[in-house]
A = this chain, B = another copy of it.
Amino acid sequence: MYASTIAPTPAPRSGWIEAPAIAQAPDAPQQFSRRIAATLKLLAEKLAVQRRVVHTGDRIYQAGREFGCLYIVNSGIYKIVSLMPDGREQVVALKFRGDWLGLDGIAAGRYGSDAIAMDTGEVWAIPYEALLEACLKERQLLNALHEAMSRDIAGERDSLLSVCTLPADARVADFLRYWAESLAKRGMRTDQITLRMTRAEIGNYLGLTLESVSRALSKLARARVIGFAAKCRREVEIPDVEALSAFVQRSLLPQASLQ
């Protein structure tokens, strides 16, 4: 669809040639979930975290306000909304249990986005300065923080990127796959997920119009890759996450689009 190759860069010189890449070792099934639990436990023990129950639409922090706290998600799902310089609002990320909120505020001293709860959940507020103090004493904490930031850098990039280079149908499929995978990694069910976003919001996140999202979902349903729960088009049944991945792959093939 889009440019699939980049111009070759001259071959490496000097002593910089590195050994061939090695396949990435995936986390064991539930290891990720356990690490999250361990980090949360550590935080609760070493710091006076402030637990806050939030409801749909609550704003955890707001772009432009002075940075002070980081927040770690204990439960619930959150959207990160960025106000672009030209005034448009844009959903830029989704956050689940174990993810940190507000990391983008460290550098500027102000939050760079809004974090909004998409359902009832609990976040823990952690004053950044106190966290730093604790990190200096507890190496594990520092590692956890750095890991979270690093994950943010790599993860957000990947999800945004697939999204920017895929045709519309595949974008929506990949979005569902990403959501399901995020739940799965945290040990939650994925055969039936509740999208807590309108078609317009999904479209905003994916760079599509709401009509395109709707069409794509209908198409995925026709192809039996997903199903809709009776009575509610926000509930999506995903009998097989692999089928979603396969659909995305298929749409990248040269002679795609016929179906």
Hey, which bits of chain A sit against chain B, CB under 8 A?
A: 2-7, 9-14, 16-19, 21-25, 52-66, 81-84, 86, 88-93, 103-108, 110, 112-113, 116, 132, 135-136, 139, 142, 146-154, 156-158, 160-165, 197-198, 200-201, 203-204, 207-210, 248-249, 252
Contact yes or no, B149 A82, CB < 8 A: no
Q: How many identical chains are in the complex?
A: 2
> Can you name 12 extra interface pairs (CB under 8 A) apart from A7-B201, A21-B83, A23-B64?
A5-B89, A9-B56, A16-B58, A21-B62, A21-B63, A104-B150, A112-B158, A132-B142, A136-B139, A136-B142, A152-B153, A164-B207
Known contacts A3-B210, A161-B92, A204-B6; is-contact A154 B13 (Cβ 8 Å): no
> In the assembled complex, how far is the CB of residue A110 from the closest CB belonging to chain B, in whole angstroms?
6
Which residues of B have CB within 8 Å of A93? Answer: 157
Complex partner residue of A153 from B7, B13, B147, B149, CB under 8 angstroms: B149
Complex partner residue of A18 from B2, B61, B163, B164, CB under 8 angstroms: B61
Contact yes or no, B157 A160, CB < 8 A: yes
Cα A148 to Cα B157 in complex, Å, equals: 16
> What are the 5 A-B residue pairs with the smallest beta carbon separation, nearest first?
A21-B64, A106-B150, A107-B150, A10-B57, A7-B198
